[in-house]
Chains A and B, each alone.
Chain A
Amino acid sequence: MTTTLVFLVALLTVFLGWIVRQSINVRPWAAGGLQPAETDRLHPSATAARVGLGVFLAVITSFFMLSISAYNMRMHMGEDWVSLSPPLLLWINTLVLLAGSFALQRAWNAARAGIVAQVMPALLAGGVLTGAFMIGQLIAWWLVHAGGYLLTGNPANSFFYLITALHGLHLLGGLVAWYRVLSRVRRGDHIERIRVGLELCALYWHFLLLVWFILFGLLLTT
């Protein structure tokens, strides 16, 4: 559980620090209006959608941290762990997901700059590359299976299938959001509405890319 605890301690330290800052020099019982400096809002750029995404990412982080903790604990709890060597295809898949993340960033940049014409190609590229990553992961599964690393053969194999599936499911959920943004672009919605959706998509993809780096690193090093 060390991995999860480190994450939680970091998260809760930030959270506690913020609450203490908001409350330490305040007189709650004092009635009256507030000076502008006394307001305790989050940063002006923190919109509801961004804060919502931030909270959601914290939940997913907790989920993956716990999965990683379970991985590490199971590795040391039995004497049956035989590491599997991930196929080289995973390196290519990683590059594809990186490109997908980059494409969505470009789409977001284009929306911020108000260049509507550049949004659609970059958005489509992001979706297609993500689809390619997921197909690549399925092929990796097939390769691993063909190499004799069966799902039930060893806990290391089981975890390989489990964590790649969990990551893929999160991307699949992201593709639902991606499709909604795509529909907005096709409908010709206002660029500001499109920008908000693109921003959330791009940040979510960057986050899942980071998660994949960590999971892939875990598979390579254990």
Chain B
Amino acid sequence: MAHTGHDATSYAPPAELGEMELVHPKTFIGKYIWSQDAKVIAIQYAITATSIGLVALVLSILIRLQLGFPGTFSFMTPSSYLQHVSMHGMIMVIYLLTALFLGGFGNYLIPLMCGARDMVFPYLNMLSYWIYLLAVLVLAASFFVPGGPTGAGWTLYPPQAISPGTPGIDGGIILMLVSLALFIIGFTMGGLNYIVTVLQARTRGMTLMRLPLTIWGIFMATVLAMLAFPALLVAALMMIMDLVVGTSFFMPTMMALGEQTGYQDGSPLLFQHLFWFFGHPEVYIVALPAFGIVSDILATHARRNIFGYRMMVWALVAIGGLSFVVWAHHMYVSGMNPYFGFLFATTTLIIAVPTAIKVYNWVLTLWRGNIQLTLPMLFSIAFIFTFINGGLSGLFLGNVTVDVPLADTYFVVGHFHMVMAVAPIMVVFAAIYHWFPKITGRMLHSGMGHIHFWVTFIGTYAIYYPMHYLGFAGVPRRYYAYGETGFIPDSVVSLNAAITIAAVIVSLVQILFIYNLVWSTFRGREAGPNPWRATTLEWQTEHTPPRHGNFGKELPVVYRWPYDYSVPGAKDDFIPQNVPPEQVEMMPEGAVGASR
């Protein structure tokens, strides 16, 4: 056991926090509705985020039906097309991915993986969910107000967003801005919990450098979100003032629908700066938890320790820091100073370094690993493929000279869907297949899972790969119909139809996935406490699913990092974090040699 380098003592430092006073409600409503248990809150977040995410999925199908078969569906008007595009984007980025990764996985996993009873401020945590739900309801309400939801695009750029003639000007845009403000307030309450729990409530022996990378990813993403979301809040408040009371923060002197507006000299560019100061870190708010989760899943299902743990942590931190100095690469065509563009192109390309470190480390973790092609592993490998693809097209767009002709074409749509839609969603699926047995005590059905995986994986490539070609052909994004546009060849029309068919198939298979979730919750095979033979603390709980308080009478004590897989000489191919060195079962000397 010399290779594991343990010292003789089994001393563990005292816990930072004493035992928490948990609220143990007796009623159904107290347990499952007004719950202060982070695990229940996590499931509430997940169900709400998935529900509104499904609405966004339906919207995307409507968008695709119009693009694939223009003029066929009478319910798709130019206005409704723009509204669907706007709502699809905003819901997917903020209300699904951010909420699911941080509110869902963050709530479920932080206390369990850190070895805590619960979040440090459970009441605030509960409030966080209810404000999030309110934000979702306010957003959803915009579908039912006169004029419908906003059609300003998910970026909500002024002056278009609040100018007469833009869909949703009657109420949709206000509801969107109010909903965003509510989301940010709710998120801040949750984010306080995630950060302070990681800093203060880790169990004895759980040093920072023994934290699973899942927690590092969620932690760093929360830090980013807490600093970046205020930019969106400031922008939303200023835009509300421009719209409601007629200030001119963002609105220039302009005519609208043939009439002079009352606005004077406002700066739309100011909005873009504020929006992207939030918007670019937002990419990493979604990506960093995915990076963390995929690291842990790869290690567990390849039965190997993660390659370069410390480098992985530093890369997460470096990506987080750099993400604040690249925002203007979204604004190369906004007319800004070219030297400014050069600066941001440089910082953008520098981000590729820590990101590449992570990709290499994932691949090296798999190298000569005992790879188990389980569903979480399949989705994780799919993530690596997709992320590399999306990342490489990002190198194109990061360069000003390449970006200028490609800006606002389908190349951009293909790029960002690969890198921050499909890639993180692959991790969401990997994580659900991985942790579902802990959450419900049952395994997801493997057959349905495999159909879900292959159709989703191949299908998403059938959707987004061709979009890069469309971009090279100069097809602009956000257009309702192209009509008789000279430079658009016929092949674009047939390609759009093919993409739509692929999108419909991929969407349909998600119904199978949801059916699998419901079916397996009640009928799935019993999972037992640790079906993946994993090392992290959530798999070592006394009960599966874990009860309120997570662990038994005593909180676990941690003696090792979470990546002790296939330790040479050890009898089992994994050693849980809470097993002291003296309790590790070793193979007899001769057997060690034979096994090597």
B581 touches A31 (CB 8 A): yes
CB distance from A166 to the nearest CB of B (A): 8
A28 touches B210 (CB 8 A): yes
Closest residue of chain A to B210, judged by CB?
Answer: A28
B121 touches A52 (CB 8 A): yes
Q: Per-residue CB proximity of B575-586 to A under 8 Å, as 1/0? A: 100001100000
- Chain A, interface size: which category? 35 or more
With a cutoff of 8 Å between Cβ atoms, the chain B residues found around residue A20 in the complex are 314
- Name the one of A41, A59, A77, A80 contacting B269, with C-beta atoms under 8 angstroms: A77
B266 touches A35 (CB 8 A): no
B248 within 8 A of A: yes
B353 within 8 A of A: no
A28 to B265, CA, bound (A): 57
- Name the one of A8, A36, A47, A73 contacting B324, with C-beta atoms under 8 angstroms: A8
With a cutoff of 8 Å between Cβ atoms, the chain B residues found around residue A70 in the complex are 234, 238, 249, 270, 274
- Name the one of B188, B277, B581 contacting A59, with C-beta atoms under 8 angstroms: B188
With a cutoff of 8 Å between Cβ atoms, the chain B residues found around residue A34 in the complex are 11-13, 205, 207
A151 to B5, CA, bound (A): 68
Stretch at the interface among A60-68, A96-104, A191-199: A60-68
**In chain A between 123 and 153, which residues have their CB closer than 8 angstroms to a CB of chain B?**
151-152
B321 within 8 A of A: yes
With a cutoff of 8 Å between Cβ atoms, the chain B residues found around residue A158 in the complex are 241, 247-249
With a cutoff of 8 Å between Cβ atoms, the chain B residues found around residue A16 in the complex are 317, 321
Q: Per-residue CB proximity of B270-293 to A under 8 Å, as 1/0? A: 100110010000000000000000
Interface of chain A: mostly helix, strand, loop or mixed: helix
Q: Per-residue CB proximity of B107-151 to A under 8 Å, as 1/0? A: 000000000000011000000000000000000000000000000
CB distance from B247 to the nearest CB of A (A): 4
B200 within 8 A of A: yes
A55 touches B226 (CB 8 A): yes
A73 touches B7 (CB 8 A): no
Q: Per-residue CB proximity of A12-48 to B under 8 Å, as 1/0? A: 1001100110110011111111111011111000111
B277 touches A4 (CB 8 A): yes
A214 within 8 A of B: no
A56 within 8 A of B: yes
**In chain B between 206 and 231, which residues have their CB closer than 8 angstroms to a CB of chain A?**
207-210, 223, 226-228, 230-231
A4 to B327, CA, bound (A): 13
**In chain A between 165 and 203, which residues have their CB closer than 8 angstroms to a CB of chain B?**
166
With a cutoff of 8 Å between Cβ atoms, the chain A residues found around residue B120 in the complex are 48, 52
Closest residue of chain A to B200, judged by CB?
Answer: A48
A78 within 8 A of B: yes
With a cutoff of 8 Å between Cβ atoms, the chain B residues found around residue A220 in the complex are none
Q: Can you list 19 A-B contacts with CB-CB less than 8 angstroms, sorted by A residue number?
A: A1-B273, A5-B324, A8-B324, A23-B209, A28-B209, A28-B210, A28-B309, A29-B5, A29-B563, A32-B7, A32-B559, A32-B580, A32-B581, A35-B9, A52-B120, A59-B188, A62-B227, A78-B264, A152-B246
Beyond known contacts A31-B575, A59-B188, A77-B270: 19 more, CB 8 A cutoff: A5-B324, A16-B321, A19-B208, A19-B317, A22-B207, A32-B559, A32-B581, A33-B12, A48-B16, A52-B121, A52-B192, A59-B230, A63-B233, A66-B230, A66-B231, A78-B248, A80-B248, A152-B246, A152-B262
